[in-house]
Amino acid sequence: MKNVGGWDRILRALFGSTLVVVDFFATLQLEIVFLIVGLWGVLTSALGYCPFNGIIGRNTCHIRYDKTSTEMVAGDSI
């Protein structure tokens, strides 16, 4: 289930990719920190899911999922 959406997703992608680029100009200690934080932002943006949002109950994704399936099974008529 996705819990990252909209502006949150865009900001994570921009912030994460900026940190990954800045990573190339940093010293070794800061390089590791920038790389980890930057990749976290890019990955949570790409996947649309953040474990920390799930822990604190935050959901910025506007798509709501029902527990019932809406897929049609082969052989079902319209």
The percentage of the chain sitting over the pLDDT mark of 90, rounded to a whole number, equals 54
Does residue 9 register a pLDDT over 90? yes
Please give the pLDDT value at position 41.
94
CB 29 within 8 A of CB 76: no
Contacts of 58 (CB under 8 A, 6+ apart): 3
Distance CA 41, CA 37 (A): 6
Does residue 16 register a pLDDT over 90? yes
pTM for the model stands at 0.72
The mean pLDDT of the chain is 85
